A and B are shown apart, each in its own frame.
Chain A
Amino acid sequence: MNIHEYQAQNLLKEFNIPVPFGVMIASKDDCQAILGALHFDKICVKAQIHAGGRGAGHFKNDLGHGGVKFASSKKEAFYVIKNMLGNTLVTKQTGNGGKVVHKVYLVEPVRFSREYYVAILVDRNLRRPVLMLSTEGGVNIEAIADKSPEKLHKIIIEPSMGLTISQIKELASRIRLTTEQTQELSDLLLQLYALFIVKDCSLIEINPLVLDKSGHFLAIDSKINFDDSALPRHPDIVKLRDIEEENPNEVEALQYNLNYIALDGNIACLVNGAGLAMATMDLIQYHGGQPANFLDIGGGANEGQITRAFKIILKNPNIRGIVVNIFGGIVKCDAVAQGIVNAAQATLLSIPMVVRFEGTNVREGKEVLNSSGLRITFADDLDDAANTIVNLCK
């Protein structure tokens, strides 16, 4: 799960990590009052969307270039906020459609002398959390990692020990910090690691972490992602979810434990297992079609979930055909069949559907579909299923 920058900054603050003063605005009506109460005049206005590359993005209406703007007065800030809220911001991560800005974050600008990049995440090969710190922060961090890997310092964290003071001290001496700065960085990183563990984060990124003019560390911008599987034990984090930022069909799918991702094509897919779902999409493309979605109904889907899944994929107005590919294990073909029948009858399904069943209760599944009266083409195997649906949708 993803959260906004202002929420991430609040979490850092909660864990005693120094951040610049900031306030979020979601409504133009609140604008005057909030601006009036600010104790500074120069204001950094930052669009809050769940996508990176905001600074280099552009707005569809008026404001032009940049989702992060410096205003030299409250009057200018007022103009910027008014035009940002409700406007659409397009960045390299949003796709061409862009994302509507529903919230902006007003931050006191900070003058700083040095910037760093800090991240904590789990390295799947090492099976351990790693902390990364680069002596060059800023937007080009990926290029830095690629071209000057020596500037990127990596600490592998033993889960039983946690991040240790000696690891941090060694890092601090490599990047030539003073004793005071080392102490400050140590406090900061220990708190950051605590946040990572306590809240089951999958990623924390501070970019940039700066040394301000008075020589203190300050987290200017941050990004935090959470492990979806751990959300059941973090009701406080679940409350931070911003549904407006997510595809409504994907949100609905998640409620029913379905893994759904909307795509641009016109052939809807309903498959069990992420690997088989990807393979089915690969084959649809191979035969000249375009998948309308990725949908993995998961390991233990029941009839009710299948009905939901079916209704969700049918909400996409572009679809011209459906392919169902089930290789039953825990999932039983007859349960899938009954779920399909329920949904198809409720929605008066009129587009072609190709079904490929194999595995647990395959015979029972086919019987359910056969006796339903639905117009269904059965496929013998994976390739046949993909090929048939592509031809039916031509």
Chain B
Amino acid sequence: MNYRPTEDIDADPASGSPLALEIRGISKSFGRFPALNNVSLHARDKEFLALLGPSGSGKTTLLRVLAGLERPDAGEVRFAGEDFLSLPVRRRRVGMVFQHYALFRHMTVAQNIAFGLTVRPRRERPSKSETADRVADLLSLVQLDGLGGRFPAQLSGGQRQRVALARALAIEPSLLLLDEPFGALDAQVRRELRRWLREVHDRAGVTTVFVTHDQEEALDLADRVAILKDGELRQLGAPNEVYAAPADAFVYDFLGAACRLPGVVEGRRLTVADWETQAPADAPQGRVEVFFRPDEVMFAPLDGAGLAGEVKAVAVRGPDVRIECLIEGRLFELESRGAVVPNGVAPGLALRVKPLKPKIYAAKA
């Protein structure tokens, strides 16, 4: 793959704000298992960066390296110009939110939030009334006014995670790290908290690194998304960039529903089954894999252009229509936007399916 992360920084039009977080060549193995392999990326001041990847991709390890909970085997982390790795965890002023909340069960919500303030050395510790004011402010920021006297066990999952966030924000962190914070919550609560988290981030104005395996969450929330796989950075870019131009087959597949067919590129000619079309100038030569999104297709009569297919089933589901189509002996679930079934499409019909924006990646040897 010809992807180079440094180009992204220079090419980005919004690079006016200073770099806050610089990660260079981080590697980390657990025994013989390499969790991170030479990962480099940057985050700008006040940026919301998502680390996206399947489980085992190293995203949580990278987050734990940033927090200081894990020591990398090689590489460098600088934050606001400072060598972050030489700082002990306690001095990094990193607010960390864990997937399973990690609240102190024997403390009230207010005591949980105040914890980071009360463990400070006496000279730096705010007074009791200052602490109480700060806790009240944070409680209202996370919309839990009046619940300061409760214990974590008396709260719902979504409320607990908001307490965890308030607790992390209490120390006025320079860097906020979130490790799949909504992973343990149900879909409805998740969507609500997602929007709310973005608001909190914008108001608190703190550089945030967010780990998730949910591509929708990452694309929805983040300013930029870093996609990891097997401990390596595959792509870094704004959500619309990475979605529109995935760097490789894995990223394409991971970012959304994908249909995949083998093909061949010869010169400027792409052949997929019985469909021939012009290949983009930068397409790899030889055996390739052709990807397209199930909703980015056009249906044409048999004498038109596209892949020959047979409609197996048609179902209207909410705002769009699902069309199951047999192409090249494989069943694809295609989508058509709008609750109207395209002209004449019905089970048993033979037609042609033309991918509108096919992406071509070299086939794996």
| Chain B binds chain A | no
Give chain A's interface residues, CB within 8 Å of chain B.
Answer: none
